[in-house]
C-alpha cells in the first residue's frame, strides 16, 4: 500500500519551522512497510489544500495530513478534507466534553472558537488527543483512508504511537516487524564497519543503522505473513548483533531509552544516584527524572555552576579550582566524590566542561568536558572533546555521562564477581 | 512572483533525514518577497519527478529543485528537468575542468560516472560549486525558471548565498519582512480573541498567531518595495499589540526565547537566581543554563526529589511535609525560601508537583503543580493543573515557572517605583 504525507502550515512554507513531523511520519510508515512516494507542504488555504489532497487521493491509498486542526479561523484542514471526501461535519459530544474538561481543569477561559475543534466529519473515527484539544480523525471512503493529525509534535507523536500505528499496521497485509538493537559507547562508522558483512548479504530481514547523538541504533526489519514468523526471522540476527557488540548493547527493547536502561540498572542493583553538574546545568538530572519511577533511586542532585558553589555544596578544594581550573580531571573527580559524600548516594556523576560559545582557550577549547563517575567509592574520570554548538555539546555530555555510569556500574559488579 | 520547492531524495521519503534544505530555501524566498505555496518531496524516480515538475511548472513561476545531482545512476534530477523543459544535455568544458581539479587537488581517483556531473542543458546558466562537484544550474524558458541545486546543505547553502540569492533578488521587486510579538501567561484562544478585530480587517501587514507550550507568538508580516518601508508598515502594529497585551509581551525580537528574556531581566536588574526543583528534576535549571552568559546570574540550583532532600537541602519543615504533603502551596513556599537563604540568591524559584504517570490521587491528581517564586524575600505561589503526559507536564511547568519569575520580578520593581 502507498501512503502520502501532506503537511499543512504557513510556518513550514515560510521556513519558520523545519518539517520534523514529515520525517517522523515517513520513518514510521517505512517501518510499517508502507511505500511513501510523495510528501507535500501546503499552506492554510482551502483551494490549494483541496487541490493537493485531490492529487494525493488520485495516486496514493492512505493520506496523512498534519496541522491546521487548531481552533482559529485559519485552521481549515478538517473542513477541507471533509468537503473533498463529501462528508458533512457534526458536533462530536465526546470530543466536546473532553475540550470542556481540558479548559476547566486548567482554569482557562473557553472561547467560542474552541467548539470548532469538536466538529467531526460524519462516519469518521475520532482519536482522543491526550496532549491538546484537537482530536485526530480517520475518514474512510471506498478504498482510500484520510488521516488528520494535530500539527504540534507533542500531540502528533503520542497520538500516532497509541492509535495510528496500530491502525495502519492492520492496513497492510502480512506484517513488517522491527526490533532495534541500541548501542552506546561506540561511533557510527565503527558500528557500521562491524556489520558491513551482514548488510552486504542481507535479504529478509534487513539491518539499517541510525545514528543518534552518542548512540547508534541498528534496526532489524523482517517481512512475513505473521508476527510470529517475522520474530523468528529476527531472533538469530539480534543474537548475532549482541555477540558482536557485547557490552555496547544497552537494550533490544523498542521503548527503552538509554536513561531508562541506566535507571533500570540502578533499580536492579538497589543503587541510589546523585548528580553534580556544571556545564550541563541540570540536563542530566532532568533526563534521569524524566523516567517514571526514578524516585526509588534518585533523591537529589546539584547544579554547581560557579566555583563557589562547587566548593560550598560539593567540597571541591579551592586549591584544585585554582591550580587545575574548574574544567579539569581533578575537579570532576572531587565533584563526584563530594556529591557522593553529601548525598550518601551509591553512585555519583559529575560533569564539568566548556559548552561555549564563550569561555574557550587554546589549552581548553569549547567542547572540552570531563565526566567523573563514582560507584561505591570507586571513581573513574574521562575526558571528552565534543563538537557542535552549546546545545549539542550539552546533549552529547549527558549521553556520555549516562554511558559512563552504565559502564562503571557494570564494571564494578563484574569485578566483584570475578573477585569471588 | 511565486516559487515552488521540490526536494529530490529517497532519504527524505524514508524519514532518514529531516528536510532542512526546504526550511532554509523557504526562509530565503520569503525574505526575497517570493510567495511559496507548495513544497514537494519526491524520490529519485524519473516518471514521478517529471510529473511533480510538470505540476509545479503549471502553477508557479520559479521552481527550485534540490538533490539528485550526484554522479550515480540513481541521480536523475538534471536529466529529468532537461527533458521536461525540452533541452538537450551537452558537456560543459568549464565544469569538466573544475571536476578534474577537485579530484586532483584531493588526491582522489576520478571514476567515469563523475563526468556525468559536467553535462548541462543547452542554454543553461552554470553555477560553480565551491564545495563539491555538482554545479548548480538555471534553466530559463519562456516565463518559467527552473533552478537545480545540489542536495548536501554544505553545498546548497553557500551556492544559494553567493549566486542564487542575487539572481532571485532581481526577479522580484519588493521584500517581505516579518516581526514576532511573543506572549507568555496568556492562552491562544484568549490572545486570538484580543486581536480578532485586527485580523478581520487585515491587509498589509498581516497578523498570524502561533501557539507554543505556554506561549503564543503573533507574527506580523508586511510586503513593500524595500525593507525600510516594510518595517514602517509593521511598527504601528507592534505598538498596538504591545498596548493590548502589556506585560504579557516578553519580547519582539526574533531570536529571544522566554528563558533568554528572563535571564536578560535578571542581568538588567543585577539579580542572581537559584532553582529548587522536585517534579521537573533539573529541567528549569537546564533551560536557564542553556542561555549563553547565564553564569553572571545563575550560580547554583538544587534538585530535591525526595522529602528528605527537601528537608536537608532546603530546610523544608518535616511538619509541613507531613501535614500538607510535598505537593502543596506550603512546601513550594518553604522550598523557595529555603533555596534563597541557602544560596543567597536574590530570586529563588521552586517547583513541586505530580508529573505522573503514577503518584496521583483524587485530591491531588497528576498534573497538579505548585510553583513559588521569591524575589528579595517577597514570595508568591501559584497552583497549576496541567494536562498531557509526564514530559508535557514537566515542560509546561518550566514555562510556567519562567513566566511566574518574570511576573514577580516586574511586579517587585513596579511596586518599588510606585512606593517612591
- Please report residues of B whose CB lies closer than 8 A to that of A312: 300
pLDDT higher than threshold 80 for residue A318: yes
pLDDT in tens, A96-153: 999 888 888 877 778 878 888 999 999 999 999 998 889 999 999 888 999 999 999 9
How many Å is the Cα radius of gyration of chain B? 28
Q: Residue A149: beta bridge partners?
A: A66
Contacts of residues B308-314 at CB distance under 8 Å and 24 or more positions apart, as own/partner, are: B308/A299, B309/A299, B309/A300, B309/A343, B310/B278, B310/B335, B312/A300, B313/A300, B313/B276, B313/B338, B313/B342, B314/B276, B314/B338, B314/B339, B314/B342, B314/B350
How high is the pLDDT of residue A328? 98
**pLDDT, mean of residues B266-288:** 98
Q: What is the pLDDT of residues A43-93, one digit of tens each?
A: 999 999 999 999 999 999 999 999 999 888 889 999 999 999 999 999 999
Say yes or no: A46 contacts chain B, CB-CB below 8 A.
Answer: no
The grid coordinates of residue A247 equal: 557490552
The average pLDDT across A375-382 equals 97
B49's grid cell:
519527478
C-alpha–C-alpha distance, residues A97 and A307, integer Å: 53
What pLDDT does B189 receive?
A: 85
DSSP for A233-273, written as a single string = HHHHHHHHHHHHHGGGEEE--TT--HHHHHHHHHHHTT--E
The Cα of B337 is separated from the nearest Cα of chain A by a number of Å equal to 17
pLDDT tens across A223-259, in order?
888 889 999 999 999 999 999 999 999 999 988 999 9
**B198: closest CA among B138, B239, B246?**
B239
pLDDT bin (cut points 50, 70, 90) of residue A211 is: confident
Please tell me whether residue A230 adopts helix, strand or coil conformation.
helix
| CA–CA min distance B90, chain A (Å) | 30
Residues in A touching B356 (Cβ below 8 Å): 292
Pairing of strands B298-304, B347-353: unpaired
Q: What is the mean pLDDT of chain A?
A: 93
**SS3 state at A382:** strand
Residues in chain A: 420
Name every residue whose Cβ is closer than 8 Å to that of residue B49 and which is 6 or more positions away in sequence: B6, B8, B42, B43, B68, B76, B77, B80
- Chain B closest-CA separation from residue A100 CA (Å): 13
B277 DSSP 8-state letter: E
Q: Phi-psi bin for B270: left (phi > 0), alpha (psi -120 to 50), beta?
A: left
Residue B149 forms beta bridges with which residues? B66
Ranking A186-195, B55-64, B331-340 by mean pLDDT, the lowest is: A186-195
Tell whether the torsion through CA atoms of B81, B84, B87 and B90 is positive or negative.
positive
| Residue A239: Cβ within 10 Å count | 11
User: Phi/psi of residue A380, each to 5°?
Assistant: -125, 140
For residue A55, the chain B residues in CB contact (below 8 A) are 55
Chains A, B: CB contacts within 8 A come to 261
Give the three-state DSSP class for A420: coil
Q: What integer pLDDT is reported at residue B102 of this predicted model?
A: 82
Of A37, A113, A357, the CB nearest to B42: A37
Q: Read off the C-alpha cell for A73.
A: 479561523
| The three cell numbers locating residue A364 | 581548553
pLDDT higher at B285 or A388? B285
Number of residues that make up chain B: 420
Q: Is B123 left (phi over 0), alpha (psi -120 to 50) or beta?
A: left
The two beta strands, A2-8 and A62-66, are: parallel
pLDDT band (50, 70, 90) for residue A379: very high
Partner A, chain B 184-203, Cβ-Cβ below 8 Å: 187-190, 192-193, 199
Buried b / exposed e across B167-194, counting CB within 10 Å, b at 16+?
Answer: bbeeebeebbbbbbbbbbbbbbbebbeb
| Residue B368 and residue B344 in contact, taking contact as beta carbons nearer than 8 Å | no
Which residues in chain A have their CB less than 8 angstroms from residue B192's CB?
71-72, 111, 113
Cα gap B63→A264, rounded to integer Å? 52
**β-bridge pairing B2-8 and A2-8:** unpaired
**Secondary structure of A34-103 in the HEC alphabet?**
CEEEEEEEECCCHHHHHHHHHHHHHHCCEEEEECCCCCCCCCCHHHHHHHHCCCCEEECHHHHHHHHHHH
Residue A10, chain B, CB below 8 Å: the answer is yes
Q: Which residues of chain B does A286 touch, with a Cβ-Cβ cutoff of 8 Å?
A: 280-283, 285-286, 394
Q: Are A305 and B313 a contacting pair at CB < 8 A?
A: no
pLDDT band for B39, please (50, 70, 90 cuts).
very high
Please report the DSSP string for A122-134 in residue order: TTPEEE--TTSS-
Sign of the dihedral defined by the CA atoms of residues B81, B85, B88, B92, in that order: negative
The verdict on a CB contact (< 8 Å) between B305 and A303 is no
Q: How many CB atoms lie within 10 A of CB A179?
A: 20
Contact A255/B at CB under 8 A: no
Q: What is the pLDDT at residue B318?
A: 97
> What per-residue confidence (pLDDT) applies to A370?
98
Asked whether A15 and A49 are in contact (CB, 8 A), the reply is no
| Cell representation of residue B16 | 532518514
Cβ contact, residue pair A281, B298, below 8 Å: yes
The overall pTM is greater than 0.90: no
* Burial of B117 per CB tally in 10 Å (0-12, 13-18, 19+): buried
Q: Would you call A303 and B294 a contact, using CB atoms and an 8 Å cutoff?
A: no
Q: Other CB atoms closer than 10 Å to residue B284's CB: what's the count? A: 31
CB atoms within 10 A of CB B11: 17
Q: Which of A392-406, B158-172, B225-239, B352-366 shows the lowest per-residue confidence on average (mean pLDDT)?
A: B158-172
CA distance A329 to A400: 15
Cβ atoms A183, A245 nearer than 8 A: yes
ipTM of this complex: 0.78
A295 close contact with B: CB closer than 8 A: yes
CB contact under 8 A, B385 and A30: no
B54 vs A: CB within 8 A: no
What is the mean pLDDT of the segment spanning A327-334?
98
Contacts with A24 from chain B: Cβ below 8 Å: 15
B-chain CB neighbours of A390 within 8 Å are 290, 292
**Count of CB atoms within 10 A of residue B372's CB?**
27
Measured distance CA(A139)–CA(B113) in Å, rounded? 47
Best residue in A13, A66, A277 to probe B by mutation, most B CBs within 10 Å? A13
- Surface of B (103-162) touching A: CB under 8 A: none
Range B49-77 average pLDDT: 93
In tens, the pLDDT along B218-236 reads: 989 888 888 899 999 999 9
Mutate to test the interface with B, among A10, A14, A339 (most CBs of B within 10 A): A14
Which helix (H) or strand (E) segment holds residue A304: the answer is: strand A298-304
Q: Is the dihedral of CA A271, A272, A278, A283 positive or negative?
A: positive
Out of A30, A105, A356, the one facing B385 most closely (by C-beta) is A105
Chain B contact present for A17, CB below 8 A: yes
Q: Which of A106, A131, A357 sits opposite B292 (nearest CB)?
A: A357
What pLDDT does A219 receive? 86
Q: The C-alpha cell of A290 is what?
A: 524524566
The answer to whether B39 contacts chain A (CB < 8 Å) is: yes
Are B300 and A306 within 8 A, CB to CB?
A: yes
Q: What beta strand segments (E) does B225-307 contain?
A: 249-251, 273-277, 298-304
Nearest to A18 among B23, B213, B306 (CB): B23
CB atoms within 10 A of CB B227: 15
Alpha carbons within 13 angstroms on the beta-carbon side of residue B345 total: 30
Residue A104's pLDDT is: 85
Residues contacting B288, CB < 8 A, separation 6+: A281, B259, B262, B263, B273, B275, B294, B298, B301
**How much of chain B, in percent, has pLDDT values that exceed 70?**
100
| Residue B263 pLDDT level (bands cut at 50, 70, 90) | very high
Q: Pairing mode, if any, of strands B62-66 and B2-8?
A: parallel
Distance from C-alpha of A211 to C-alpha of B242, rounded to nearest angstrom:
45
How does DSSP classify residue B279?
T
How many CB atoms are closer than 10 A to CB B204? 11
Pair B124, B137: CB distance under 8 Å: yes
Interatomic CA distance for residues A396 and A386, integer angstroms: 7
A285·B288 Cβ contact <8 A:
no
Q: Do B25 and A15 touch (CB under 8 A)?
A: yes
The residues in A 321-360 lying below 8 A from B, measured between CB atoms, are: 343, 356-358
Whole-number pLDDT of residue A169: 86
For the segment B78-137, what is each residue's pLDDT rounded down to a tens digit? 999 999 999 999 999 999 999 888 888 777 777 777 888 999 999 999 999 988 889 999
Which of A50, A38, A37, A36 has the alpha carbon at shortest distance from A8? A50
Task: Name the average pLDDT for chain B.
Answer: 93
Contact assignment for B190 to A111 by CB distance below 8 Å: yes
Residue A162 has pLDDT above 80, yes or no: yes
Amino acid at each position: 500500500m502507498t501512503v502520502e504525507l501532506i503537511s499543512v502550515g504557513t510556518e513550514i512554507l515560510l521556513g519558520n519551522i523545519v518539517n520534523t513531523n514529515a520525517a517522523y511520519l515517513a520513518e514510521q510508515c517505512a517501518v510499517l512497510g508502507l511505500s511513501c512516494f510523495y510528501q507535500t507542504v501546503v499552506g492554510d488555504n482551502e483551494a490549494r489544500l483541496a487541490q493537493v489532497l485531490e492529487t494525493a487521493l488520485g495516486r496514493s491509498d492512505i493520506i496523512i495530513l498534519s496541522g491546521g486542526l487548531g481552533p482559529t479561523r485559519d485552521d481549515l484542514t478538517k473542513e477541507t478534507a471533509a468537503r473533498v471526501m463529501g462528508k458533512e461535519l457534526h458536533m462530536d459530544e465526546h470530543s466536546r466534553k473532553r475540550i470542556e474538561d481540558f479548559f476547566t481543569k486548567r482554569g482557562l477561559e473557553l472561547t467560542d472558537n474552541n467548539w470548532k475543534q469538536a466538529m467531526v466529519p460524519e462516519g469518521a473515527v475520532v482519536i482522543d488527543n491526550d496532549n491538546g484539544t484537537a482530536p485526530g480523525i480517520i475518514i474512510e471512503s471506498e478504498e482510500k483512508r484520510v488521516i488528520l493529525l494535530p500539527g504540534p509534535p507533542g500531540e502528533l507523536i503520542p497520538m500516532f504511537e497509541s492509535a495510528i500505528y496500530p491502525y495502519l499496521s492492520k492496513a497492510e497485509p502480512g506484517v513488517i516487524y522491527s526490533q532495534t538493537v541500541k548501542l552506546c559507547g561506540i561511533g557510527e562508522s565503527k558500528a557500521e564497519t562491524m556489520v558491513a558483512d551482514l548488510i552486504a548479504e542481507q535479504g529478509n530481514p534487513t539491518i539499517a543503522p541510525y545514528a543518534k547523538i552518542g548512540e547508534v541504533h541498528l534496526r532489524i526489519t523482517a517481512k512475513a505473513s505473521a508476527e510470529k514468523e517475522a520474530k523468528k526471522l529476527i531472533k538469530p540476527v539480534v543474537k548475532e548483533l549482541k555477540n558482536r557488540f557485547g557490552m555496547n548493547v544497552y537494550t533490544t527493547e523498542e521503548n527503552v531509552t538509554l536513561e531508562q536502561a541506566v535507571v533500570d540498572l540502578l533499580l536492579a542493583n538497589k543503587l541510589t544516584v546523585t548528580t553534580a553538574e556544571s556545564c550541563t546545568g541540570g540536563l542530566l538530572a532532568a533526563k534521569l527524572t524524566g523516567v517514571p519511577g526514578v524516585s526509588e533511586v534518585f533523591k537529589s542532585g546539584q547544579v554547581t555552576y560557579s566555583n563557589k558553589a562547587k566548593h560550598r555544596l560539593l567540597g571541591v578544594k579551592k586549591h584544585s579550582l585554582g591550580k587545575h581550573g574548574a574544567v579539569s580531571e581533578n575537579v570532576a573527580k572531587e565533584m563526584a566524590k563530594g556529591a557522593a559524600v553529601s548525598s550518601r548516594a551509591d553512585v555519583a556523576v559529575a560533569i564539568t566542561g566548556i559548552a561555549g560559545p564563550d569561555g574557550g582557550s587554546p589549552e581548553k577549547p569549547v567542547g572540552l568536558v570531563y565526566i567523573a563517575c563514582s560507584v561505591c567509592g570507586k571513581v573513574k574520570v574521562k575526558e571528552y572533546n565534543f563538537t557542535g554548538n552549546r546545545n549539542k555539546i550539552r546533549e552529547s555530555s549527558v549521553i556520555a555521562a549516562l554511558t559512563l555510569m552504565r559502564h562503571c556500574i557494570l564494571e564494578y559488579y563484574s569485578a566483584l564477581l570475578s573477585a569471588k
